[in-house]
Amino acid sequence: MRKKIIAGNWKMNMTYEEGQKLTSEIVQMAKDENLDGVTLVLNPPFPHLYVVKKLIGGTSNIFVGAQNCSDKESGAYTGEVSAPILASFGVDYVIIGHSERREYFKESNELLATKVKQALAAGLTPIFCCGESLDIREAGTHEPNVKYQLTDSLFDLSAEEISKVVIAYEPIWAIGTGKTATAEQAQEMHYALRKHLASKYGKEVADSISILYGGSMKPSNAAELLSKPDVDGGLIGGASLKSRDFIDIAKSY
């Protein structure tokens, strides 16, 4: 059975005090309210990781993730953070290939393939992001474009390795724009990605991989999106900065 995952990407937000407050609220709400087997992943900026991990404590359904990792294991790479360093702090997940990393920092499919392998080698669960821009969507080439991202970055992995990866589909045109893909559009792409995974690794493996929706999910649209058979959760941006919204999304299954 695939994991139901609601992952919060704080991006470059939250001071130390704000991060503590948000984490404490989420942990308390998760204890008090029925989340029905949903896994929560908090992905704060690097400086927050230690305290977020500490505040989560032994809460069974909440995990900590990083927003990025280096493609190098160690060395003279000032400003970078490696997967083994993240693992040593008790980090569980790491976002790789977010659309903002691809666009602003020009991260290539080849680079992301290396990052995924570094994460897996360190025992982290990669949340691998893929998606299309508005011009690609309007040109009608979104499906082959996003499939290519999977092929180029993930299809060198073994079946055992890819089974440990979480996929996050990001319609880039729906991030921070106020637009949201319809539930039908989300399902269509999630189904296409699962079918593409099956073409390489077989249906059993493809059916075991969680595919998250990463395009402006919020409490008002979460239930409809999460009702679709191939939408296994969400990679949440803005709504993850409000504890009530984040928990309400998790309760939308």
CATH of the domain at 177: 3.20.20.70
Tell me whether residue 75 is annotated as binding: no
Query: Has 196 been annotated as catalytic?
Result: no
Among candidate residues 100, 170, 190, 196, the one labeled active-site is 170
Q: What is the mean pLDDT of the chain?
A: 96
Tell me whether residue 176 is annotated as binding: yes
For residue range 31-41, what is the model confidence (pLDDT) as tens digits? 999 898 999 99
Confidence of residue 176 (pLDDT cuts 50, 70, 90): low
| In the predicted structure, residue 138 carries a pLDDT above the cut 90 | no
For residue range 104-121, what is the model confidence (pLDDT) as tens digits? 999 999 999 999 999 999
Q: Note the pLDDT of residue 180.
A: 67
Query: Has 98 been annotated as catalytic?
Result: yes
Among candidate residues 48, 98, 142, 196, the one labeled active-site is 98
Q: Note the pLDDT of residue 201.
A: 98
| In the predicted structure, residue 80 carries a pLDDT above the cut 70 | yes
pTM score: 0.97
Containing domain of residue 52, as a range? 4-250
Over range 216-241, report the average pLDDT: 96
How far is residue 193's CA from residue 144's CA, in Å, rounded to a whole number?
10
How far is residue 31's CA from residue 17's CA, in Å, rounded to a whole number?
21
How far is residue 27's CA from residue 172's CA, in Å, rounded to a whole number?
30
Number of structural domains in the chain: 1
How far is residue 88's CA from residue 93's CA, in Å, rounded to a whole number?
12
Backbone angles phi, psi at 166, to 5 degrees: -105, 135
Tell me whether residue 8 is annotated as binding: no
For residue range 57-75, what is the model confidence (pLDDT) as tens digits? 999 999 999 999 999 999 9
Q: Note the pLDDT of residue 174.
A: 80
Q: Which residues contact 18 (CB under 8 A, 6 or more apart)?
A: none
Over range 7-19, report the average pLDDT: 98
Confidence of residue 165 (pLDDT cuts 50, 70, 90): very high
Cβ-count burial of 112 within 10 angstroms (0-12 exposed, 13-18 middle, 19+ buried)?
A: buried
Tell me whether residue 72 is annotated as binding: no
